[in-house]
Amino acid sequence: MRILSSKTCIITNPSARGNRARSLLERRQEWCQMGVLMETCGPGDAEKLASEAIQNGFTTVIAAGGDGTVYEVLNGLLSSNIDYDELRLGVLPLGTVNVFAKELGLSMNIARCKEVLYKGVSRNIDLPDRLFQKR
């Protein structure tokens, strides 16, 4: 099963530090062929965009950023009140440390991550709700 389709959105932080985030935005046209690219404007936007994407029928949401972006996207997915078995979260580790991606054993090579996402390689993970509550 391919993960990327017309029902895929990529949420990214255009002001993220680092060359990898800038590279994604410079190659915007290429990424838009893989899904709808949504850019955040400030803190909390990734959560809102993820929730809205799910409400608008997207089944795959890719968090393109660091741990903060992943955290917000996960909160947006969890707040959507729909069957989580129907959702897919993709991670493009564009942040400085990428703890979540490293804990999952994801490659830090963006081209490799893109290939994995495109092929639809996926696995189930458990997310304890208490980790994603507002603080």
Task: Please name which of 14, 27, 26, 12 lies closest in space to residue 90, comparing C-alpha atoms.
Answer: 12
Per-residue pLDDT, 2: 47
Q: Indicate the CATH number of 8-121 among 1.10.240.10, 3.30.1370.140, 3.40.50.300, 3.40.50.10330.
A: 3.40.50.10330
Q: What is the pLDDT along the chain (135 residues), one digit of tens a residue?
A: 344 555 899 998 877 666 666 666 677 667 766 788 898 988 999 999 999 999 999 989 999 988 999 999 999 988 877 776 778 899 999 888 889 999 999 999 988 988 888 887 788 877 665 455 554
For residues 75 and 63, what is the distance between their CA atoms, to the nearest angstrom? 12
Buried b (16+ CB within 10 A) or exposed e, 46-55: bbbbbbebbe
**Summary mean pLDDT of the chain:** 81
Which class for 34: exposed (0-12), middle (13-18), buried (19 or more C-beta within 10 A)?
Answer: middle
pLDDT digits (tens, 9 = 90+) for 46-59: 999 999 999 999 98
